[in-house]
Structure 1
Amino acid sequence: MSNWKVALKTMQNSAKLSPKFFDEIKACVKCGGGFGLIRCYGISQEPETGDYIIVLYYAHRGNLRTYLEQNYGELDWIQKLGILKQIAEGLNKIHQAGLVHRDFHSGNILQGKNAEIADLGFTGPADKESTSEYNRTVYGVLPYVSPEVLRGKIYTPASDIYSFGIIMWEVSECIPPFSDRAHDGLLALDICRGLRPISEVCMPKPFVKLTNRCWDANPKKRPNAHELYETFHKWYWDLKDGVENEITAAFNTADYDCSQLSSPASSRPVTVTHPLAIYTSRLLDFTDLPEPINAPFKRLSVSTTRSIDTITGEEEYVTRQFEEDLVYVPETETISAVTFVPEEKDVYITRQFDTDLPWEGS
């Protein structure tokens, strides 16, 4: 019999057989394991302390967050869609089993040969009573928690879908969401006001549209996990098999655009993470958050030498045509600068001004 590595997850102070320990095992069994979900081989016990241990598949590449950061600029869209297809398959199995993950973020997705959802210890039935203290406890990583849950609503499959939308963005960009600001009550407030990570130039429009649906402020407007799996399955195989259609053209164009903009992996940009950006799960407790809304996206089209008449003060001009989705920000915010990626002979604005235009700055 050949040897292979496994991961041992020890539950501290579990000698008295905490029911929570077996929740994760039962969730693994109920969801079926296999593609998209971490495999659970069984349980053991630490001989000295008596603490129980879950024996799991060993994901040699670590968690998804680390994997993406280590492979910044090196993943094409076939690889990214493959990762998301596997995650969507695992999430669909969880929801098909009548469960909700409740702590769904890239740190709880492990990357071995495939991407697999792990840490099912906080999964719970989707039909828990709304008065249940268990289902109202907010525990997670703030950027991935849906706005309705931040306001004290119960966890539902739709709250996992919101988290999946944030993970979609992270897989696209290979950086954690909202890494440049504190994960505090102000961020929770902005999320409820409609703030989301910005969609970058290398993100194909079909992908952007699906991401926007996943993190819609209205849980009823989000797609379900089965639709996500079917969508990513088709996108992945169409792109991999060289099928020519509007969707694959968008992803191929995005790959080309990224290759023109990205620096070599050896000189990848240095990102500074805010000291209060916390990517480990913790209890979250915020009060007086507003009713969640979608960002009032505006489509801004500016042609050559046409002034932006919504800017207060002296007029400025942009000398190339562009069309961008802008993101909500409270009217009290100030845009420190607007910078467009210039093409040859282009001019771009870099002056400070106050505006009521939506923006993502914090």
Structure 2
Amino acid sequence: MIITKFVEQGNLRNFINNNFITLSWLQKLELLQSIAIGLNKIHSSGLSHNDFHSGNILVSNEKSNLSIFISDLGISGPADRSYDPFGVMQYTPPEILRGHNYTKYSDVYFFSMLMYEISVGVPPFINVSRDQLNDLIFDICDGLRPIYNSKYIPKSFEKIMKQCWDDDEFNRPLISQLVDIIGNWIKEIKENNINSQFNKCEQQIRLKYPLYKYDIYKSQQIKTTDLGKEDFEHDDDNEELNFNENDSDEDIELNEDFERRVQNRFVKLTRKDLMKWLENVDESFDPNRSYPR
């Protein structure tokens, strides 16, 4: 039996859900730095976590100071060793979904999802339902990343977050580098730099979703695709998914409008459906005929 310390704030997902509106950017960065320091200790030991998400990070409030504990090290192990994919699909790196081995760079991708969650207030791909998760595997491998309103995220933060979720794992920074980068951001805020991007983005709009959707964010066996990287067309869809800078706050706050814009943007089509459709295409295609759309 393993006995762990009781943490008052629960896991990071619950903490963000309960406290996001009152969290300053300084507090968000301090949370991320504590997480990065903990993950760096794991990497310094030659290990990778392999199932890193907000449900596995515990938050304690000791003497009014927030403390972070990384839990669920059940599938952690030596980096580059082969493991059966297991975890929360919405956080899982594309290389793992393609059947490759976990590495320390996979953990950096996991960390990018935490950067997203702490900055936006909801887990990644919150708009994806349970029955769309299999399609999401192909979407992530094809370059899809969580959507957000760039108006409320500092440019320097956004740049690093995108580097961390780069499709090519070797383009991602080391976690030790992230510790230093986040430390510099914290220093910038504490020095009361009035030009700080973080001070300008202090006012936040949270994307609110029903709590019942959170129950799909649980670690489980992950299905992988045998498609290689070359099988996926790699457009930078994430750039196009950002909200328009001219959107009003009222537009962003409307959940129905938000979900409608996402749904209208894509038509979900599985590879199996596509192949079946191609097999049934009429070879005697008539260019003058009006086909249904």
**TM class by smaller structure:** 0.7 to 0.9
How many Å apart are 1:206 and its aligned residue? 0.5
Partner of 2:248: 342
Instruction: Say whether the 8 Å CA contact 1:99–1:123 is kept in structure 2.
Output: yes
* One-letter amino acid of the counterpart of residue 125, structure 1: P
Which of 1 and 2 has higher RCO (CA within 8 Å, sep 6+)? 2
If the length of structure 2 is used for normalisation, what is the TM-score?
0.75
Query: Which residue of 185, 210, 218 maps to 2:168?
Result: 218
Which structure's residues are more often helix, by fraction? 2
How many Å apart are 1:122 and its aligned residue? 1.4
How many Å apart are 1:118 and its aligned residue? 1.1
Q: Highest CA radius of gyration, 1 or 2?
A: 1
Instruction: Say whether the 8 Å CA contact 1:179–1:277 is kept in structure 2.
Output: no
1:326 matched to 2:273? no
After the TM superposition, which residues 166-181 of structure 1 pair with which residues of structure 2 at under 5 Å, given as runs?
166-181=113-128
Query: Which residue of 172, 181, 185 maps to 1:231?
Result: 181
How many Å apart are 1:186 and its aligned residue? 0.3
How many Å apart are 1:58 and its aligned residue? 2.1
Aligned mates of 2:244, 2:191 — CA distance in 1 = 40
Distance of aligned partners of 1:269 and 1:106 in 2 relative to their CA distance in 1, 3 Å threshold: closer
The answer for unaligned runs of 5 or more in structure 2 is: 61-65, 250-256, 258-263, 269-293
How many Å apart are 1:340 and its aligned residue? 4.7
Aligned mates of 1:99, 1:83 — CA distance in 2 = 22
Aligned mates of 1:182, 1:297 — CA distance in 2 = 20
1:296 matched to 2:239? no
Partner of 1:208: 158
Instruction: Say whether the 8 Å CA contact 1:136–1:152 is kept in structure 2.
Output: no
1:55 matched to 2:3? yes
Aligned mates of 2:233, 2:103 — CA distance in 1 = 18
Work out the percentage of aligned pairs sharing the same amino acid: 37
Aligned mates of 2:127, 2:185 — CA distance in 1 = 31
1:124 matched to 2:77? yes
Which structure's residues are more often strand, by fraction? 1
Deviations 1:105-124 (CA, angstroms, capped at 9, x unpaired): 00000011312211112110
Instruction: Say whether the 8 Å CA contact 1:295–1:327 is kept in structure 2.
Output: no
Instruction: Say whether the 8 Å CA contact 1:61–1:110 is kept in structure 2.
Output: yes
The alignment's C-alpha RMSD in Å is: 3.0
Query: Which residue of 132, 136, 149 maps to 2:96?
Result: 149
Aligned mates of 1:271, 1:141 — CA distance in 2 = 19
Partner of 1:255: 202
Aligned mates of 1:269, 1:219 — CA distance in 2 = 29
Aligned mates of 1:219, 1:269 — CA distance in 2 = 29
Distance of aligned partners of 1:158 and 1:269 in 2 relative to their CA distance in 1, 3 Å threshold: closer
Aligned mates of 1:242, 1:75 — CA distance in 2 = 17
Instruction: Say whether the 8 Å CA contact 1:327–1:360 is kept in structure 2.
Output: no
Partner of 1:111: 59
Aligned mates of 1:193, 1:72 — CA distance in 2 = 31
Query: Which residue of 160, 185, 197 maps to 2:134?
Result: 185
The answer for unaligned runs of 5 or more in structure 1 is: 1-52, 129-134, 263-267, 299-324, 329-336, 344-349, 351-357
Aligned mates of 1:188, 1:205 — CA distance in 2 = 28
Aligned mates of 1:209, 1:174 — CA distance in 2 = 18
Distance of aligned partners of 1:55 and 1:293 in 2 relative to their CA distance in 1, 3 Å threshold: farther
